[in-house]
Structure 1
Amino acid sequence: MMYSTYEPTLIAPLVLGSEDGTSLCACQFTSGRDAAKFCWDGAERSDQAPVFCQARSWLDRYFAGEAPDPTRLCLAPRGTTFQQAVWEALLTIPYGQTVTYGWVARRVSDMRGSRTSPRAVGGAVGANPIGIIVPCHRVVGADGSLTGFGGGIKAKVALLEHEGVALTGLTVPTRGTAL
């Protein structure tokens, strides 16, 4: 295991992780509800590893206002087959747009050939280990609520505003897991 960090000015610092030095398995917030979710104790810090240089370059372009293609990175998130399908669907959400958990559920249902519930999708979206790059921040509730973001609601709002998403019609929860 190896890790590096990335410090954008828009949101809290991020920890980047790789199991093998060739593919990215994590891009995690250092604050918010998921801050302690992935433990990098005992991992070797390796800021110059090519996988981290590529990820930081991607993030630099993203935070400069570009829409870099996440599929250009070698991604290897750890998860169940179902979670992998949900994360693959997240990669199809265009920059600057939001979709609902129901939309993701329909997309996964089409991919897998079996019915998928938005609630199950919500669990998989919440388990996404490669935040921002696999754009879980673009998923909102059917009622327009900005729910379920591990980096915290302020980070989700900042990322959506950064992408030019009109927040009109979207609501910020006053309590719950998104905070």
Structure 2
Amino acid sequence: MDDASGNPAPPAVIVVMGVSGSGKSTVASLLAGRLGWEFEDGDDFHPAANVEKMQAGTPLTDEDRWPWLAAIAAWIDTLRAEGRHGVVTCSGLKRAYRDILAGDRPDVRLVYLKGDRELIGRRMAARHGHFMPTSLLDSQFRTLQEPTPDENPLVVSVGGTPQAIVAEIVETLTGRAP
């Protein structure tokens, strides 16, 4: 769908997804700032029990994730109902998770931050103060089901700087260079 000027119409909500350490929070917050949209970090929707499990190095189960995903989806639906725009992070590792977030919402767009295990592992090892230990990265990659073309994801390499990644996203979504 295009706007009146022929440019692609922006989505109502962008879900920035990828494994832990792919740069979701950094990219999504910069993207929201560039677009003037609201930003929420999906990690903030986790119940305390989930955070405690991850801090202890225990991977989450699907049962752990359902309430978390439902809370993010509720935030998305609130924005959409109120005619507001937002950017939210969520690992979105499985198709079933993304179906909860984007599913039948054509105005929600997935942006998949794609990178290899080695690069993302180095980045995770260098960050401090995050509850997700590097030891869980392998389970993230084992769980990851990359988005398929029918999900209409925007796939962006994490190899560039956060600013370059955001510029690529903005140009692709708006049809204009930032």
Query: What TM-score, normalized to structure 1?
Result: 0.29
Name which structure has the greater RCO, CA cutoff 8 Å, separation 6+.
Answer: 2
- Could you state the TM-score of these two structures normalised by the residue count of structure 2? 0.29
